[in-house]
Amino acid sequence: MTTRFVLIALILLALAGYGCSSKVADDRQEKEEQLAAYQAERDALQKKIAELESELSNEAEKGMVNVSLSRVKEERFENFIEVMGMVQSDKNLMVSPETSGNIIEILVKEGDRVNKGAVLARLNTDALDRSIQELEVNLNLAQTMFERQELLWNQSIGSEVQYLQAKSEKEALARKLEGLKAQRAMSVITSPISGVVDDLLQRKGEMAAPSIPFARIVNLDQIYIIGDVAEVYLNKIEEGDSVQIEFPVLDLTVPEVITRTSSVLDADSRTFRIRVDMMNRNQKILPNLMAVFRLQTYERPNAIVVPSILVKKDFDGEFLFVADANEENQDVARKRYITSTINDNNQTVIDSGLKPGDRIITEGYAQVTDGALLNISEVN
């Protein structure tokens, strides 16, 4: 029995050893295959490297520089600046009473639309009313006395002094009564414009006075936007110029025209003010809302424009490199001096020195020198 168990154990050990050796063989084969693939890739890369080195060596021997070119052409060019602005309204008013008094009645509420002259509130006028009534009685008596004195005077009865005194007293009381009625009218708070009651600042029972605002009345049918522009653009921006106005918060842009420009420069900021009047068609543009003016400061319909990075400068002026043919009809780099008008948004407008069809070096320009042979890879 013991011999039988020993045989079985030996057989199992043999099988386990065979499985391990088989697994080791499979791993080795996989690694050998991977190594062969890497070696093939290495050989291909070494071949490409050798080819490029050979090309570079040949070009270096010839003194060539790899470049890309672009042909010069005319295009429309516009230059714009952006200026921050703020919305204002001429009809955004704080309303106060013309006299002092206790508020006894408020006839509107916030959000109400009112017309010019509409009554907003009334103040207590009891004391004035009593004074007016008393004065009216005295004026009636003075009028009667004057009429009788006038009748006697017309009949040459009585003295002229009595007639003049009666007339003067009557007229003085009439003027005083007129003043009291005007004072009573001032106790009625009215709207100076047509618009919306945006805010009521006082309540019934409170004391009103000319120095205390009672309500805010706003009319947003017409608004205006103001902005301050640097003095360098004084001769480039005028009344009547077109302008795009952007309201970032509303995601809204509208075309308008400059209504006026200020006649005085701000001494501190060295700016001048522009104003644009506009209709507030959707009523969403509110006073004190931020706006952005987009103003055109330059325009040329047929301009030669190049990337600003290509333009260099030395003691003789501005220049860039162009491709030209030498006596052997080989492409070489030439330094071309130019004059420029304006630089904007990484673009330079060329006034002179270039013409349509010229080939300017747009890539590899940093490696070329005047007269260097060129290896042109691309022409746009």
Does residue 152 register a pLDDT over 90?
no
Residue 264 contacts by C-beta under 8 Å, 6 or more apart in sequence?
272
pLDDT of 325 strictly over 70: yes
Q: What H or E segment, with its residue span, contains residue 321?
A: strand 317-325
Give how far the C-alpha of residue 242 lies from the chain's centroid of Cα atoms, to the nearest Å: 15
| Residue labelled with tokens 């005319």 | 74
**The pLDDT of residue 7 is above 70:** no
In single-letter form, the type of residue at position 230 comes to A
Q: What is the pLDDT of residues 170-213, one digit of tens each?
A: 788 788 877 777 777 778 888 888 888 988 988 888 888 888 89
**pLDDT at 87 (0 to 100):** 94
- Provide the pLDDT for residue 91: 85
CATH for 65-76+301-379 (1.10.40.30, 2.60.40.3080, 3.30.1330.40, 2.40.420.20): 2.40.420.20
- What is the C-alpha to C-alpha distance for residues 337 and 353, in angstroms, rounded to an integer? 6
The helix/strand/coil state of 104 is strand
| Per-residue DSSP letter, 357 | T
Q: Dihedral, CA atoms, 342, 346, 350, 353, nearest 10 degrees?
A: 130
Among the listed residues 375, 324, 332, the one whose alpha carbon sits nearest the alpha carbon of residue 55: 375
The class level of CATH for 82-90+219-299 reads: mainly beta
- Distance, in Å, from the CA atom of 88 to the CA atom of 198, rounded to the nearest integer, reads 15
Q: What is the 3-state secondary structure (H, E, C) of 223-254?
A: EEEEEEEEHHHCCCCCCCCEEEEEEHHHCEEE
Whether the Cβ atoms of residue 225 and residue 279 lie closer than 8 Å to each other: no
Is 71:359 a contact under the CB 8 Å cutoff?
A: yes
User: Which fold, 94-216?
Assistant: OB fold (Dihydrolipoamide Acetyltransferase, E2P) (2.40.50)
Supply angle C-alpha 290, 346, 305, rounded to 5: 120
Distance in angstroms (rounded) separating the CA atoms of residues 42 and 53: 16
Q: Which residues contact 241 (CB under 8 A, 6 or more apart)?
A: 257, 258, 295, 296
Position 71 scores a pLDDT of 92
The pLDDT value recorded for residue 61 is 47
Q: What is the pTM of this model?
A: 0.57
